[in-house]
Amino acid sequence: MITDIRIHMAIVMYLIGCFSLMIYNAMVIYRKKSSSKAMSNNTNKWIKVMNQQFTKENKIRKSDPKYEKHMIKSLKHVEKLIAFSNALNYFKLEYGTDLYNQYIVTLVQSKVFHTLAVIYRRKKNEERAYFAYFISQHPQLAKDTEGICADIISAMVSYIEDSDIYCRSNVLKVLCSVGDVYGVVNTLQLFNDKNIFIHHKLLAEDLFNFTGDKEVLSLYLWGKYKIWNDNLILGVIIFITMFSDAFKDTFLPVLRNKSIDAEVRLAIIRYYKKYRYAPAQSVLIEYLNQTENYDFATEAAATLSQYPGQNTINALTTALQSDNWYVQYGAASSLAILDEHLDYHIDCIASKSNGAFQIVQYMLEHQNNKKDMNMSELII
């Protein structure tokens, strides 16, 4: 009997838990519905407030301290900030960039966002991330008459400590959209010092959206190559590879240095594929011939397709005999590009029993198909 009562109690407890979950769900759904209504109401209110900022001459009024106070009080709530952002986007679409820019100037003069940047420092991680995202969408807010506004930027950089990847990425977006070299360098320095992870591909893509002088930024970033961790440097090299041929000379000693991280050197080999640099040829051939790490040989084989000449053809022909299939593949693909007479002497360079023979044949088939395609395009 006692056991029965205990079991009944346990079941009742479980059911209470279960129904409370149901109620929680219903509440979340209800809150979501009401919050989406509130969001659209708030957006409309902001649009109304923005409209009130117009003078009769269709210009923006100078900022009013009361209005500024109201903005700060309101926008420190992230939901209100989202509504404000929606209203701002609507404003830009409806009234055009000129009026939008005028409005932004009044906001900058009011220093509302300077204050908010500091307030959001104390907010939750995801709310800080949103504030950073908001500024990255309206980067003029982080600028003043003298250029980049140091207060906002330093507040943003301070968000990075004890933050997650989303906040970090959004902060980096702000710095890149503003075009602040020092901000970007300081942020990456912080990533390095605090051992904060950011995927190198993501870093490169964010850096590529830098709106200032990318050449200057890349010089500053590369200046840290002996200090920063390999992941950051990898991201920097990928970023540089996206746009600059100015590092041909700089990268070569790094490529020669066998103590540098393998991924970093592989990224540099890829750089030399995009930007041909004659002095790199001998180093690439050296990498092609080494057998300790076939990743280097494979990458070098593919890169050598951009370095025509008998030396390259000889090295690639030798590489066809490599023990590694991927090296053979890379060599064959490069030979197919470089050696115009490859189809005539394929038998001499690769024995039919060797896998390289099939690879070369496959590459030639591709070349021929491309030629046919080009021909048919010409005829059309």
Residue closer to another protein by CB (options 307, 357) is 357
> Cα(268)–Cα(285) distance, rounded to whole angstroms?
14
Q: Smallest distance, Å, CB 142 to another protein?
A: 17
**Concatenated DSSP letters for 71-138?**
HHHHHTSHHHHHHHHHHHHHHHHHHHHHHHHHHHHHHHHHTHHHHHHHHHHTS-HHHHHHHHHHHHHS
Helix (H) / strand (E) element for 44: namely helix 2-52
The answer to whether residue 167 forms part of the interface with another protein (CB under 8 A) is yes
Cβ closer to another protein: 60 or 359?
359
187-196 residues labelled b (16+ CB within 10 A) or e (exposed) = bbebbbeeeb
Pick from 365, 371, 374, 375 the residue near another protein by CB under 8 A: 365
Of 249 and 261, nearer to another protein (C-beta) is 261
The yes or no reply on residue 9 touching another protein (CB under 8 A) is no
Contact pick of 53, 169, 187, 281 for another protein (by CB under 8 A)? 169
Tokens found for residue 342: 């490859």
Part of the chain binding another protein (CB under 8 A), chosen from 5-13, 94-102, 107-115, 142-150: 5-13
- Nearest alpha-carbon partner for 106 in 53, 151, 146: 53
Q: Whose Cβ is closer to another protein: residue 60's or residue 141's?
A: 141
Spatial separation of the C-alpha atoms in residues 261 and 318, rounded to whole Å: 27
Rounded to an integer, what distance in angstroms lies between the CA atom of residue 181 and that of residue 378? 48
- Nearer residue to another protein within complex by CB, 257 or 358: 358
Residues 13-72 that bind another protein (CB under 8 A): 14-15, 17-19, 21-22, 24-26, 28-29, 32
- The least distance separating another protein from the CB of residue 40, rounded to whole angstroms, comes to 14
Q: Is 243 in the site for another protein (CB under 8 A)?
A: no
Residue 296: name the closest of 286, 304, 285, 287 by CA: 287
List the interface residues with another protein, window 287-326 (CB under 8 A): 325-326
Q: Does 202 bind another protein (CB under 8 A)?
A: yes
The helix/strand/coil state of 143 is strand
Q: How many residues bind another protein (CB under 8 A)?
A: 47
Q: Which positions from 106 through 145 interact with another protein, judged by CB under 8 A? A: 126-127, 129-130, 133
Q: Which of 199, 274, 345, 371 binds another protein (CB under 8 A)?
A: 199
CA distance 267 to 239: 10
Q: Is the alpha carbon torsion for 281, 279, 257, 234 positive or negative?
A: negative
Q: Is 359 in the site for another protein (CB under 8 A)?
A: yes
Regarding 374 and contact with another protein (CB under 8 A), the answer is no
**In the beta sheet, which residues pair with residue 297?**
none
Binding residues (CB under 8 A) for another protein: these are: 4, 7-8, 10-11, 14-15, 17-19, 21-22, 24-26, 28-29, 32, 78, 82, 126-127, 129-130, 133, 164-167, 169-170, 197, 199, 201-202, 205, 325-326, 329, 355, 358-359, 361-362, 365-366, 369
